[in-house]
A and B are shown apart, each in its own frame.
Chain A
Amino acid sequence: MKIDKDLVAASATPLVLGILADGGSYGYAILKRVNELSTGRMTWTDGMLYPLLHRLERLGYVAASWQVAPSGRRRRHYEITASGKQALAERRQQWEVVTGALDRVWREAAIGPKPLLAPAAGLER
């Protein structure tokens, strides 16, 4: 299954920030983690990760530093910052609203026109 390009783009920032919130990392490892998390179903164009990381850096969400990899090559290492964590929390709330709403839609569609017992308060907000 191929995930729509726009969906990948929209989820990229919270995914990367979330992975970095778990501990500092570097480009290739971040992509590998995305692969693991989505069991290989979310495919990114590898090169596009780097402009995204730079954007997050410019916004102050992540801090980058050059480190030396075990192979002896230089490698850019990224850490999440305090404002990055804040941004992540905000994104998370936004996504929870979206996934919550979608969740209801799926269930209603599956059940049909029968009214739901779940309170509607969450949806109205």
Chain B
Amino acid sequence: MDGMLHSEPETQIGHWRGYVQRHRAISAGDAEELEDHLREQIADLEQAGLSGGEAFLVAVRRMGDLDQVSREFAREHSERLWKQLVLTSGPDEQTDAHARRELAIVLGLAVASALAIKVPPLVGLGWTDDSAGFYARNLSLFVLPFLAAFFAWKRQLSWSDSLRLLVPPFALGAVVANAYPFTENGATEVLTAIHLPIALWLAAGLAYVSGDVGSHRRRMDFIRFTGEWVVYYALLALGGGVLVGLTTAGFATLEVNLSTVVPEWVLPCGALGAVIIAGWLVEAKQSVVENIAPVLTRVFTPLTTLMLLALLVAIPAAGGLVEVDRTLLILVDLILVLVLGLLLYALSARDPHAPPDTFDRLQLLLVVSALAVDALMLYAMFGRVAEFGVSPNKAAALGLNLVLLVNLAWAARLSIGFLRRRLPFTRLERWQTTYLPVYGIWAAVVVLTFPLAFGFA
């Protein structure tokens, strides 16, 4: 059929292909599919007696307005749309002014967050050992409201929606963190310090999805955002650490001692400001990191699987678990969090239409071996918990374990269905987006009820 095309239509098709490929929502595979269609149409029209040039024109016309087709593709593939949404770059003045305004707002919020943590010292709560508990409990309250405000501004959330969605969780968090009479350095205080940021992160997510909590696509976008935020924050922290080290060393040669300025100002203010900046970077420079997450997943999925399998072999070889305590349970929880993180990274970066491949099988192996390690350790733990009774730490660790176990077990089941081609890939995605609020709810339960249940110990 190709032989029937003369050189002129061939060049025209080349131009057309270039034009199709400029549409971000149309992937290379889709472009190929459309081109195949165009070529068949041209061949048929030529057979009906049209000249090459005429056939090309008719075929292109029948294909329809490519901008519309592209929009339709974008609607269908939110992961491609995600790229489109955030790339507001354009030469025109309006977007330029908008970008400058956004930068000003982001910097303003970052500075506000950095200064917020310097407010307590003004009222006599300095950076001392006595106030360590206060800072640990409140850390997320110094920064996440500002991040939520950024989302609310970016998504053009109305004032009434913002107040309705965001004020209750943050206000409740602030009250609980400060009104509960915690025992200093007690377990429930530490648990609050760990769980409040998680609950409030998901509360900030309410603004991120612009209040549209029912939308699974938006939830998936928030999962993506979280994953990439972690990558950006780690990069910023690394760079910031190097810079602080060099500056301290540089001033040391001048015999200027920075040992009070760095821990009291640079570290806390920088760490909080970076939360906002990282959030903005994910939104603005999406395409930079989106290549990192899949790479990280591909590298660490096999390695983590190996580690888990080695553990599985080593436990019986060592004659069972020797030291069974809550550190072990926390360790297992951390392993499960890592596995879930890898799973989510892979899900968010995967082309939902690709058929199951070796990597999907490897991922199932990862999840199953994590479940096996967890089952072994839980079995070993079980008697001990009954023996020593329930402490807040054990209850929190066991609860988290349950939350993760349910997620991973069901994910493994769906993944088997997907590998057998019985279930579409979207079911896996759907499960994770459905489950997303559970983390926030669990964290909120720990923050709200554990101190009460365990007498603020």
Contact = CB atoms under 8 A, between A and B. Distances in A.
Interface of A: 26-28, 31, 45-48, 50-51, 54-55, 57-60, 63-65, 69-76
Contacts of A75: 33, 36
B353 A57 contact: yes
B69 A50 contact: yes
Most chain B CB inside 10 Å of its own CB: which residue of A47, A58, A74, A75: A47
A58 B64 contact: no
Given A46-B37, A50-B73, A54-B73, A60 B423 contact: yes
Q: Is the interface of A mostly helix, strand, loop or mixed?
A: mixed
A34 B353 CA distance: 25
Contact of A48 (B2, B30, B72, B352): B72
Contact of B41 (A46, A64, A72): A46
A75 B32 CA distance: 8
A51 B76 contact: yes
A77 B29 CA distance: 13
Contacts of A69: 36
Interface in B56-70: 62-66, 68-69
Q: Is the interface of B mostly helix, strand, loop or mixed?
A: helix
A65 to B, nearest CB: 7
Contact of A46 (B64, B72, B77, B424): B64
5 contacts: A47-B34, A47-B65, A47-B69, A59-B424, A73-B32
Given A45-B63, A48-B72, A51-B72, A65 B33 contact: no
B352 A58 contact: yes
Given A48-B64, A57-B424, A58-B352, 19 more contacts: A28-B37, A31-B37, A45-B65, A45-B69, A47-B69, A47-B72, A48-B68, A51-B69, A51-B72, A54-B76, A57-B353, A58-B426, A60-B424, A60-B426, A60-B427, A71-B39, A74-B36, A76-B29, A76-B33
Nearest to B75: A51
A53 to B, nearest CB: 9
A55 B75 CA distance: 10
Size bracket of the B interface: 20 to 34
B66 A58 contact: no
Interface string B31-58: 0111011011100000000000000000
Contacts of A74: 32, 36
Interface in B343-385: 352-353, 355
Contacts of A55: 76
B155 interface: no
Given A48-B69, A74-B32, A58 B37 contact: no
B353 A50 contact: no
Contact of B34 (A50, A57, A58, A59): A50
A11 B36 CA distance: 25
Given A48-B69, A71-B2, A54 B36 contact: no
B63 A47 contact: yes
Nearest to B1: A71
Contacts of A58: 76, 352-353, 424, 426
In the A-B complex, the 3 residue pairs with the closest CB atoms:
A45-B64, A60-B424, A47-B69
Nearest to A66: B29
Given A28-B41, A48-B69, A54 B64 contact: no
A75 B40 CA distance: 11
Contact of A54 (B1, B68, B353): B353
Contacts of B164: none
B421 interface: yes
Interface in B94-152: none
Contacts of A26: 36
Nearest to B426: A58
Nearest to A65: B355
A57 B425 CA distance: 10
A71 B421 CA distance: 29
A72 B65 CA distance: 28
A28 B36 contact: yes
A124 B181 CA distance: 67
Contacts of A63: 421
B36 to A, nearest CB: 5
Interface string B67-90: 011001101110000000000000
A58 to B, nearest CB: 6
A54 B63 CA distance: 17
Contacts of A72: 2
Nearest to B62: A46
Nearest to A60: B424
Contact of A73 (B36, B68, B72): B36
